[in-house]
Amino acid sequence: MKQAQKLVAPLAEAFAKRSFASQRFAARAAEEVVAVDNAARKGCDGVLEVPSRLLMGPGPANAYPRILNAQALPLLGHMHPPFLKIMDELSEGLRYTFQTKSKYTLMVSGTGHAGMEAAIANLVEPGDKVVVGNAGIWGERVGILSRRYNAEVIELKTPAGTTFSYDTLKAALTQHKPKLLFLCQGESSTGTHQSLAGLGELCRQTGTLLLVDTVCSLGGVPLFADQWGVDCIYSGSQKCLSGPPGAAPFFLSERAMEALQKRKSPPATYNLDMNLIGDYWGWFGKRSYHHTGPVSTFYAMREALAIVSEEGLENLWKRHQEMHHRLWDGLRSMGLKPFVEKDEDRLITVNTIKVPEGVDWAALVKNAMDTYSLEIAGGLGPTAGKVWRVGIMGFNAKPQNVDLVLHAFRDGLKRQGKL
């Protein structure tokens, strides 16, 4: 206290002689102004430097330089007309990427989880039945999230490395007639690709909305939101779209929007209320402030979607397919095997590779990072300790990167005397 008074008195005196603003500050200086604690000061100073890494894990992937450069453009106000125009371009770019004519596309401010929570919070009302396809950790999380929003969750489980058959899903929908069916198109924890064939039609028969996670698959594998009858999609910016994390591509069909409008009560989240966010994005004809859009991240995603449209979806999907084959030709020549048994269940964007008996998977990962500044990941959830995961996504899906991954595998196995 004494020390504070010692400081305050001369401060107040000095400020009193200065401007009006200073005098007001001096009046408020009755709050104790003590000596600043500098203990943490050196913890965050100087110009930031980061190592350069080739990110060939399940994400984030490296971003195109053009996307990173866009983030250095001057900030605009989040309601300024030039920024609103960028938001309109994002909505349109998403329409192309999702293959929809729906008005209801936008970027949720946040990562894939924000998209996930926005979907559940808006489409589910307390007591609604939700059938959750749990093929790995993403289904598990959607189950947890749905319970937090008081849904009645019916969880379907399939062993790690497999997907749900149409018949299994049909039986569950016919029995439960749920409000919502959740499936993950690209299950990055196991490396599976869930087919959506026939499910939109099926969901229409049982009055169910079809929600699909495409965080690891959008831009890497075909998706036709309208044609396939999907009602809600959330995705990620940092995988096959090669942007920075922080903006989640999001889509609602007309049916999903009707369900949202018919809710008995507003969603329990204000932050992710799609009626309010939709208003910011101009879904309902006007523009109201809901939150400050992450301006620089949206610039980046504007560039990311421009790159998608310049390359064309068919070319993008083909490039991912070719790099997946290049990877597996090389891995198989070393005797390595896919974790996902069936060809048709295998995700091409995040590849899961069985760790052979007696091989130290972590040592191989460490060697890749230490020697080549290359990220290869281990398993996650049900695959922990059993697989390596190699992501070949967006900007990174090119021969020289795949060849470096193969080189790191060869080197890693040789060092352990396994090749």
**What phi, psi does 245 have (nearest 5°)?**
-65, 150
The residue from 8, 176, 245, 404 that contacts ligand PMP (CB under 6 A) is 245
54, 55, 212, 216: residue in contact with ligand PMP (rule CB under 6 A): 216
**Size of site (CB under 6 A) for ligand PMP:** 14
Residues within window 173-212 making contact with ligand PMP, judged by CB under 6 A: 184, 186, 188
Q: Which stretch binds ligand PMP (CB under 6 A): 64-72, 111-119, 151-159, 405-413?
A: 111-119
**By CB under 6 A, is residue 255 in contact with ligand PMP?**
no
State the number of CA atoms in the 13 A half-sphere of 362 facing the CB.
Answer: 3
Smallest Cα–Cα separation from 276: which of 295, 259, 289, 260?
Answer: 289
Q: Which is nearer to ligand PMP, 143 or 412 (CB)?
A: 143
Query: Which residue lies nearer to ligand PMP by CB, 61 or 413?
Result: 61
* Smallest gap from residue 31 Cβ to ligand PMP (A): 39
The encoded tokens of residue 234 equal 């959330």
In the complex, least distance from residue 333 CB atom to ligand PMP, rounded to whole angstroms:
28
Choosing from 66, 71, 83, 113, the residue that interacts with ligand PMP (CB under 6 A) is: 113
State the Cα–Cα distance between residues 185 and 352, nearest whole angstrom. 15
Region of 248 (left: φ > 0; alpha: ψ -120 to 50; beta: rest) is beta
- Please name the amino acid found at residue 148: R
Name 250's bridge partners: 106, 234
Helices 361-372 and 399-415 cross at an angle (nearest 10°) of 120
- Span near ligand PMP by CB under 6 A; candidates 6-14, 66-74, 109-117, 174-182: 109-117
Stretch that binds ligand PMP, among 64-72, 98-106, 110-118, 166-174 (CB under 6 A): 110-118
Confirm or reject binding of residue 138 to ligand PMP (CB under 6 A): yes
Q: What is the dihedral of CA 14, 17, 20, 25, to 10 degrees?
A: 10
User: What are the strands, taking DSSP E only, across 223-335?
Assistant: 232-234, 247-252
Dihedral over Cα of 238, 100, 289, 83: its sign? positive
Q: Which of residues 17-76 bind ligand PMP (CB under 6 A)?
A: 58-59
CB of 58 to ligand PMP, least distance (A): 6
297 binds ligand PMP (CB under 6 A): no
389 a known binding residue? yes
Element at 169 (helix H, strand E): helix 166-176
The sheet that has 129-134: what strands, in order across it? 105-109, 247-252, 232-234, 209-213, 180-184, 129-134, 152-157
Closest residue to ligand PMP, based on beta-carbon distance: 112
Is 243 among the residues that bind ligand PMP (CB under 6 A)? no
Rank residues 236 and 267 by Cβ distance to ligand PMP and give the closer one: 236
Q: Report helix, strand or coil for 182.
A: strand
Q: Which is nearer to ligand PMP, 145 or 413 (CB)?
A: 145
Binding site for ligand PMP (CB under 6 A): 58-59, 111-113, 138, 184, 186, 188, 213, 215-216, 236, 245
Q: Which residues are annotated as a binding site?
A: 389
Q: Which residues are annotated as a binding site for substrate?
A: 389
